[in-house]
């Protein structure tokens, strides 16, 4: 699908069979979502450039993701998509600056694009060209990334309370409670890792586009690019801090699981030690020797029971006195 936007944010859906000369000349943004070959050819004839394909976007070589020609600047960035779904992914999106227009090629729908489209008509004075519009779009992408990190921090704080505070107040946890929390920790680790990769990709893109002659010619776009680059650097540091917190939470959860398992093993160990002396007493009087005077006592049986109880109680209180229980 091809959607074009003018400087005021007015949108127009373009069919692939439309003649290139019928496209409005005042458009500043051409958004290609899941484009087919016919749609690619239409925009190529309209702008006189080659549109990156899905295979081109998957290329990880820097020279294939960031490069310029005489007519256009080609950039590819990886953005976080489906962050709220629990299964975040990185989607590669191409940004092309050509003939004063921004062309985006994408095969997924990051929320940042929806936010930008909704706010496009509210930009004071609009976006007079594709360069300025691209900087505004990058600004929205960074804001959305910051929102993802803030959401992750809030959820991690809640998870930390569940792991530590409930343990501190002495509540009994359900079986496999901490094991379930490990899955949540792994989910947030995946989200933050994807976010860090996206920020690294944006940082390389912004550094590259800032050095291009096209951006150096426009002071407003250049200043905005510098501001967005600083925001990306700050968010990268914040993401690293969050990643360290996730690592701590993971280690702490594993440690608490080990403590609970050791407590269970300790209970079995103490139980075996407590019942060992009564077992010894019972074993002695279970022997079938001919000469065992205690077997002829009137109170032999109660005395044997009393001896077994005393032999169990003494180790129990000894362990309590040593603080092992």
DSSP assignment of 22-47, as one string? Answer: GS-TTEEEEEEES--HHHHHHHHHHH
Q: Which of 137, 145, 239, 258 is nearest to 193 (CA)?
A: 239
- At 110-167, the pLDDT tens digits run 888 888 888 877 776 667 788 888 888 899 999 999 998 888 888 888 877 777 765 5
Q: Which residues pair with 14 in a beta bridge?
A: 2
Answer yes or no: are the C-beta atoms of 20 and 42 closer than 8 Å. yes
Q: What's the confidence (pLDDT) of residue 25?
A: 72
Q: What's the confidence (pLDDT) of residue 175?
A: 64
Q: SS3 for 14?
A: strand
Q: What's the confidence (pLDDT) of residue 171?
A: 57
Q: Which two tokens stand for residue 186?
A: 């792994």
pLDDT beneath 50, residues of the chain: 169
Distance CA 145, CA 152 (A): 11
- At 159-193, the pLDDT tens digits run 777 777 655 545 566 666 677 777 778 888 888 88
Q: Which of 76, 95, 77, 94 is nearest to 134 (CA)?
A: 95
Instruction: Scan for tokens 């065992």, then name that residue.
Output: 292
111: Cβ–Cβ under 8 A, 6 or more apart, which residues? 81, 83, 144
Distance CA 41, CA 43 (A): 6
Neighbours of 303 (CB within 10 A): 13
Q: What's the confidence (pLDDT) of residue 310?
A: 85
Distance CA 27, CA 129 (A): 8
Distance CA 320, CA 325 (A): 5
Q: Which two tokens stand for residue 63?
A: 């020279």
Helices within the chain (DSSP H only): 37-47, 54-57, 62-65, 111-119, 130-160, 166-168, 177-210, 213-216, 219-284, 300-322
Q: How far is CA 204 from the centre of its chain?
A: 21
Q: SS3 for 126?
A: coil
């Amino acid at each position: 699908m091809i959607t074009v936007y003018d400087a005021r944010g007015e949108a127009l859906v373009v069919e692939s069979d439309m003649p290139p000369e019928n496209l409005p000349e005042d458009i500043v943004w051409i958004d290609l979502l899941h484009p087919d070959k016919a749609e690619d050819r239409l925009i190529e004839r309209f702008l006189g450039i080659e549109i990156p394909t899905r295979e081109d976007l998957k290329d990880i070589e820097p020279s294939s993701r960031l490069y310029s020609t005489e007519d256009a600047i080609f950039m590819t960035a990886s953005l976080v998509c489906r962050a709220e779904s629990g299964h975040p992914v990185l989607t590669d999106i191409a940004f092309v600056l050509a003939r004063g227009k921004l062309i985006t090629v994408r095969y997924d729908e990051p929320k940042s694009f929806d936010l930008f489209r909704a706010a496009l008509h509210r930009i004071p004075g609009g976006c007079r060209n594709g360069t300025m519009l691209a900087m505004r779009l990058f600004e929205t992408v960074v804001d959305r990334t910051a929102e993802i990190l803030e959401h992750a921090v809030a959820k991690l704080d809640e998870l930390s309370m569940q792991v530590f505070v409930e343990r501190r107040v002495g509540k009994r946890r359900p079986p496999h409670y901490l094991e379930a929390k490990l899955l949540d920790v792994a989910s947030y680790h995946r989200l933050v890792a994807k976010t860090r990769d996206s920020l690294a990709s944006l940082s390389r893109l912004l550094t590259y586009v800032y050095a291009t002659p096209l951006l150096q010619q426009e002071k407003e776009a250049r200043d905005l690019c510098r501001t967005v680059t600083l925001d990306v650097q700050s968010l990268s540091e914040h993401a690293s801090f969050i990643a360290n917190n996730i690592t701590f939470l993971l280690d702490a959860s594993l440690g608490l699981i080990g403590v609970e398992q050791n407590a269970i093993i300790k209970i079995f160990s103490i139980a075996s030690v407590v019942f060992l002396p009564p077992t010894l007493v019972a074993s002695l009087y279970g022997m079938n020797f001919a000469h065992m005077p205690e077997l002829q006592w009137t109170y032999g049986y109660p005395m044997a029971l009393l001896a077994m109880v005393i032999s169990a109680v003494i180790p129990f209180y000894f362990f309590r006195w040593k603080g092992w229980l």
